[in-house]
Amino acid sequence: MEAVWGGTRVRDVTALPEPALVAGAGFAAPAQWADAEFQHRWQQYVLDCCGRLEEALGAATGDGGDGRQLVLVSGWPLTRKRDAELAYLAQYEQHGPTVPFGGRRTGYGVEPDHAVVLAVPRFAARHAADHTRDDRQRVILGPDLVAGTAEPDERDVLALLRGAYPYLLADAEGDGPGARPTAMVTTARAVRRAAQLERQAAYSGPDSMEVYNDLVVGKYSWVPDDEHPGPAAAEMENLPVHWLKDWMLCLDVECGMRAETVLHRLYGTVTSYEPGTGRVEFSPTGGHPAISVPVHRIVALTGDRQRRSDGQVPAHEPYKE
C-alpha cells in the first residue's frame, strides 16, 4: 500500500479530514500544504496499520499464533547486512547467558561471535527458521513456553545454549566447593598419560622448553593430577604459561551438569594458570573474554598438529581420544 499510494498527490483539498494536522503557514500554495498534510496523515495511517497488525498477530489463536517459543540465535548481535531480516529479534527477551560462537570476519581480522536464547512469539520463531533454512545452525527452535508462565524452564535454556557452546559457567558452579574429578575424567586422563609415557621419558625435565614446544604443537599433552596439586601442577607452574596465549590450543573438558556430562574439546588460548586452585583461564577461539575452567573438569591441554590458527579451528568439537 505504501509503495502504490505513498507518493500520491492530493486532487481534492476538501477531501482531507478536519482539523488539519499540519499548519498552513510557510507553504507557497494551498496544493503544497495539502500534499504535506496528506503525506503526514498517510504516514500515520501506515504506522497505525502496522501497530494493529502486530497486535493481531500477538493475540492470534491457533497453530503458532498464541504463546511464545524459545529459539537459539547464533551470529549475535544481529548487526551485519545479512542480518537485516532477523534484526527485529533483538526486541525480545533474552534468557540465560550469552555464549561464545567462534569469530566473525571483519575488515580488520576476526571479532567475537556469540549465541543467545530468546523467547519470541511463535510466528517470529517460524519466520526466523524459514529465513535461515539454508543455514540450519543459525536459528534452532526450542520448546514452547508453558502458557501462563513468565519464565522458561532453565534446563530448556541451558540445553539450547549447549548446542552453541558445550561448556557453560553453570557447569562447574553446580559442582560445589571441593569438587573432585568424576570417574569419566580420571579414566580419560589415565588413557592420555599412558599414550605419552615414552615421549615424557625423553624430556630432560618436566619444566624444560622441550615440554613447552611439544605441548603447543600437539605432540605432548598436559594432564592434570587426579589429586591436585601434584607433579602435573608443578609442571604447569614452571612452564612459561604467559607464552601460551600466543598459541591456539585444545582444552579437553567435561561439559554439562553432573550425572549428565560428556567430554568435549574446546579451542582457544590459555591466558593464565592458578597453581593453588588449578584453574585455567581460557579464551575461546574468536577472541572472546577468558572463562575460568577448574582443574577437576579438565582432562588435558594440548595443541593441534594440523590446525594452529584462529581461522583453521572450530570453536569446539567432540572429544575423540
Hunting for cell 556430562 — which residue is that?
261
Would you give the DSSP letter of residue 288?
A: P
Query: What long-range pairs does 45-48 form, CB within 8 A, spacing at least 24?
Result: 46/1, 46/2, 46/6
For 143-191, what is each residue's pLDDT tens digit? 998 776 778 999 999 999 999 999 999 899 888 888 999 999 999 999 9
**How much is the pLDDT for 185?**
96
**How much is the pLDDT for 139?**
94
Instruction: Report the range of poorest mean pLDDT among 48-62, 116-130, 257-271.
Output: 48-62
- The predicted model scores a pTM of 0.75
- Most confident segment among 148-162, 191-205, 261-275: 261-275
Mean pLDDT of the chain: 86
Would you give the DSSP letter of residue 228?
A: S
- Comparing 169 with 64, the larger pLDDT belongs to 169
- Comparing 206 with 264, the larger pLDDT belongs to 264
Mean pLDDT of 234-242: 86
Hunting for cell 561464545 — which residue is that?
100
**How much is the pLDDT for 143?**
93
For 284-317, what is each residue's pLDDT tens digit? 998 899 999 999 999 999 998 777 666 678 889 9
Instruction: Answer for the pair 181, 296: CB distance below 8 angstroms, yes or no.
Output: yes
SS (H, E, C) 152-183: CCHHHHHHHHHCCCCCCHHHHHCCCCCCCCCH
Query: What long-range pairs does 44-53 form, CB within 8 A, spacing at least 24?
Result: 46/1, 46/2, 46/6, 49/1
Residue 120 confidence class, pLDDT cut points 50, 70, 90:
very high
Cβ burial, residue 92 (10 Å; 0-12/13-18/19+): middle
Cα–Cα distance list, 290 to 42, 271, 283 (Å): 52, 7, 4
At residue 60, does pLDDT exceed 80? no
Task: Give the integer Cα–Cα distance in Å for 115 and 265.
Answer: 18
Mean pLDDT of 135-145: 88
**How much is the pLDDT for 63?**
45
- Please give the helix or strand (H or E) that residue 112 lies within, else none: strand 109-121
